[in-house]
Amino acid sequence: MAELRIGEKVPDFTLPVSKDRKVSLSELTRNGKVVLAFYPGDFSSVCTNEWCTLRDGMKEFEKLDARVVGISGDSHFTHEAFKKANNLNFDLLSDYDHQVARLYNVYYEDFLGLKGASKRSVFIVDREGKLRYRWVTEDASKLPNIEEIKRELEKIR
């Protein structure tokens, strides 16, 4: 899969949030900018740190007219427990078969002995569904620069 480029329309997708609710990227972008944050899995120390940092900065993201959404291959059941344990106030989407991670070219075939996981990565998508920011790391212990993400959001009207 080719790397997504800034300014290109990104692939739309629909993923479950819970047993009874699914959400699509096109639905999310109708309401403003979207920060898609892919991550390897719930309950790891690095992922917990990342999500609690995002949770603590949520008011700033809201002021920037941006919605934060997490995506990993964990089930919606695991996501619900992870959200509750960490008091997270945003959606975590279940990419259980890793199709969206593959679409966005952020998929590990093998991650620490596990068959498949999302690479830690962040994409900012504007209201038109165009990519405005892309950050992907091969080092799953590395966290995204939240201040850089906010600066990029400020540039988008």
- Catalytic residues, which ones? 47
- Note every long-range contact of 96-101, with CB atoms under 8 Å and residues 24 or more positions apart, other chains counting: 96/16, 97/73, 98/73, 99/13, 100/11, 100/13, 100/15, 100/71, 101/38, 101/71, 101/73
- Grouping H, G, I as helix, E, B as strand and the rest as coil, residue 98 is coil
The amino acid sitting at 143 is: L
DSSP state of 24: E
